[in-house]
Structure formats: structure tokens, C-alpha cells
Structure 1
């Protein structure tokens, strides 16, 4: 074969392999791009068995009759092919009556409709509404205040913390600022701007900073990567092209996760001490601090268990895998994902424990210092 013919042959072979690779990935050359694509809701009316897949033996095809519930096609009926791969994790097995989420793609020669997931938001919104209703019915005025604080907490997380991290701001510093704002607003709305509120704020900030400091020191020493969760790994491929420090994301997550429990403990201790002072105005500061510590010790056991059980509950499938394969405790405890969860639970619990003396001493000092004032002033 002469050189020109050899070059043409190699070029043809390369082009053929490129076309073959695109075809195998589902992006065949010349395939039309959709003119428009959007999400719609649909209801499954009927499911029947379709023709078996010739090329792939394990794929099963069904013919699904759908009614479109939203958008321009609302009320129209379509029959589509729905393929299952036999995977329990990824397959969407539908039955008549199921409400599903659809992807509608418009092409010059017609429509392509795919089932992408089940519709779950109806029940999610129902549970949220029931939660809000119970807060108002049982909590009355306090329940309404709780709703306000929840809304503000959600606003700070969704509109300040997460966008700030995506813009490249330091996650730990931003978490400290947002946690402080959430603490100030929550405690002042629920407890009022008084000695009780200031004592609780001092306890919360002290406990959260202690949890963050412990996490930073220990996490650095044991070389945690912050990549133990699959979602963290996926952040390396987001379109914003931000180079995250994943350990800082881990530290900020631990601080934010401990905030709720720490705030609960601080508010309980400061409220109890304020009530003791109101009932017995002549009580000495030392006795008041001792009473606050006793209240805190009773709370401490259950709240520490709450944190540890919450973190352990999220890793039950992983723990079952270790038990099923009889993995040694040495290997388990040295895994990044397990060490991360242990430090997350213990650091949060240490922050919670330290909140008790900080709140008790601050509250005792302030109540003794301003003993001529009313407790709620």
C-alpha cells in the first residue's frame, strides 16, 4: 500500500472509530437536538408489556399510557416506551394511578416523553403543613415565633451561606457569621432581649466555636479529606469551577449541624436559671450557678445521645455492610468516612457539653450583677 492510500485508509479508520464511539454513547452523528425541553407532571393510566429489547437481553420494555397533568399538553393522552434495566436503585417501576415527573422534548417531527421520577412533593408539602399546623395549634404564640425563626434560618442558609460558599468565600468564617446571626435572631425572638437571652447567646457561641475548634484540630491531625460523602466528590465537577477546600466544608458542616442542639441546651439552662431567680430573688449567684449546672447535667445526657444517634442513624447501611463482611474494628475506625462521622458526633457533643458551664456562669454573673432589675428586662 503506497503512502497516500495508507494515509487515506488511516483517516477513514479514525473517522469510523469516532462515529462508532459517538453512536455507542447515544450521541450518533447527525442526531437532532430538541427544539425545546421541559418538565411536566403526568398520571399513569395503563402499563402493558412491550416488545423485548433485541440488543440487550436484560432490558425490559413496557408500554405506558400517560395523561399529562400540567403545561401546554395538559389533558392529552400519550403512549410511550418505558425501559427497565433490572436495577432496584435506578429503575422506576410504575403502576396505573402513579403520578410521575416527565421530561418532554420537542423535535421538528414530534415529541419524545420520558418518565424521570415519581412525584413526591405532594406528600412532602403535606407533612410540612402538618408540622406548621401543630406548631401553631399547640405552641400558639411561641409556635408562631418558632415559624418565624425557621423561615429566617432557611433564608440565611439558602440565600447567604450557600451562595457565599459558591462565590468562593471562606466556608468556616461564613458559617460562624451565619450561625451568629441565626443565634441572635432566634434567641431574641423566642426568649426576648433580656438577661436570659444574652446568657443563652454566650453559651451558644461558646459551644459552637469550641466544636469548630476541636473539629479543626483533630480533623487536621487525623488527615480527614472532607470527601467521604459522594456529594462532596461531585462538587469537583460543578460549572462554577470553584476549587473547594473540602476539609473546610466539613468543618463548617459540623458547626452548623451542632447549632440546633447547642441552642436548645443554652436556652433551656438560661430559662431555668431565670425562672429560679424570678421565684427566689434573694438566691446567691453561686447557688444559682449550681442550680443551672444541675439542670444542664440532666439535659446533657439526652442531648448528647440525640447528636450521636442522629449521626449513627445516617450510617446504618454502611455499618451493616461492615458487619456482614466481618470487617475488623481497626480497619473500620481508620476509614475516612467512619473517622469523619465519629469526629462529627464527638465534636458536636463536646460543644454541647461546654455550652452548659458557659451559659450557667454567664447567666449567674448577669443575674447577680443586675439583681436590682427584673429578670425579663
Structure 2
């Protein structure tokens, strides 16, 4: 039996058509369901500072910023340029950070975070000759050791509470250039300093995006896991025998949000039918929602806490549900000054956290 009769001939195929056209923008008949964030661009700006004959330049910065930004997992790169290298005896570069704390009167302390020193050049009697420029690259550590405990490196911040007390985290790069005042008197020297304060802000992103529909009523049945509930008992002012109000605050369960992102919430007040009718017969209670920053410090074995308001929420009253004996509000809370908000961090006996809280101002 021949091979041609054993195996059938392959089927005939039509010519391959050209692939469909693709576009990054949707057509009028299409809808974008999800769009992932593109990779961040690498900024090409520079920060320059001069002092005498020394110029310090930091690369990879955004345009028109005064304080260089250090990105986690990316080295800080730059150069040192000298105008008169023939007189230079040494060039030393230092990058360090420290946390300053004034929790109580007379209890100032400074916690060193890290310090890195590079001796870029050292010469004796002009040998070897000093070059006119140096390049450097240095990464920040992700952790530091404090009281035998490893802590994450805190972000640059200056948090004030009260009139005198503060928590301040500072990072700085400094170049010290030692040069001879005269070629024949090398023992007579002078030091030129040039430095930059640095902004270090580790980026954290929420584990998941917020719901496209921020309404509790529209999502609580289909996606109940997307909401977290906190309850609190509230007494009605001036009505000692009246039943207490149960205040329930619903907020997204993800618990972490982008700084510029409005945080949706739902507020519900529950009480008896009689109390609800009494409330509705007068003025509605004035409800305010805040985003609070809580600072907790262990000072000499005693915990001290302070709360600062980071932002306010806007509320909208929803129709009263007499059948369930509830009053409901919904709204969004935003940070008042997003540029000044830093993330949560802990450093030894200090904890800086951001929490949301609901407060009711009585106007019954």
C-alpha cells in the first residue's frame, strides 16, 4: 500500500487574513473595563547647589523642585565638581538621617537612623592630584536598628502637635572640601560645606482598588467583604431616659488608600421608633467625619497620645428608614493637604498612624 493512500491529503486552508488593528484608546462602541498603571517615567531633572568653589548636583529629579527626592530601591546619584582642584586636600561625602523627638518639655532626643561616609579624595602635598569632579551613587537602607530592634526606615516628616512638641525625621547629604589657603602653607586649610536636605518617602499602594460604585446600598449584598463596620454607642444629650443611639460607620475594608483618593463612607444611626420620630420632629443631628492622625509615644514608661486632623468629610443625608428605625448619611473624606501627608510608621517607642473616626455634634 502506497503512503499516499495510507494518509489522507491535508485540508485546504484559505489565505491568512491580516491581524485586527489595535488602539490604546477605546472606540465609541467599546468600554474600558480595567486599565493597569503604566511604568513610571525616569525623571531627568537635576538639583544644583553651590558653595564657594564646590558644586553639588543630584541627578534623576523632577523639574523645579528644591529638595531632592530619594526613591526606595533606587540609588541617589550625583556629582561633585571642584573649581580649583589644585588646592584640594580632601573631599568627603556624607549621607545620614536622624529622627528628632520633643514629646514633652525638656525631653528632647535624637535617634540616629543611618550614616554613610565616602572619602572621595585625600592627598598629601598635592600627590596624587585631585580631579575636578567626582561621581557618586548611594542607596538608602530599608531598615535601621534601634534598641536592638530592627525598624523600617521612617519617611521624611515634620509633625507638630501642640505649640512646642514635634516629631521630625531629616535626611541630608553633605560634602566637605578641605583646601589649602596657600600653596606654600599647606597646614593652613579651610573647609567648604555644601549640603541638601533630602525627601525620603517609601511608596505603598493599596492591596486593591476601591469599588467603582461607592454606595453601600448598591454593593453590600453583592460585595459585603468590601466594607468594614465599626459600631459605637451614643447617648442623646439631655435625654437620660431615652435609648442610646447605635452609630455604625462603614468604610472600605481595604484599609489603605492613595493620598489623593476620596474615601467613601456610610454612617448609620439606629434607635427606637419613638426616639427616631422625636429626632425627625426637630433638627437633624449634625454629623462630622474626620481623618485623624494619631501619634503615640512611650515617654518614661508612660504612653502619651495626640490626634491631629488631616482632613474632613462631606456628608449627604439619605431618606430616613422608619421601618428599620435608622438615619443614614453617605459621603467622602479627603486629606486637607495631601502633599504633607506621610505614611504610617513605627520607630521604637513611637508610632504614627492614620485612622478614620466619626464624631457627632449634638443639635437635637
TM-score over 0.5 (shorter chain): no
Which structure has more RCO (C-alpha within 8 Å, separation ≥ 6)? 1
* TM-score, L = length of structure 1: 0.17
* TM-score, L = length of structure 2: 0.17
Answer 1 or 2: which has greater strand percent: 2
Answer 1 or 2: which has greater helix percent: 1
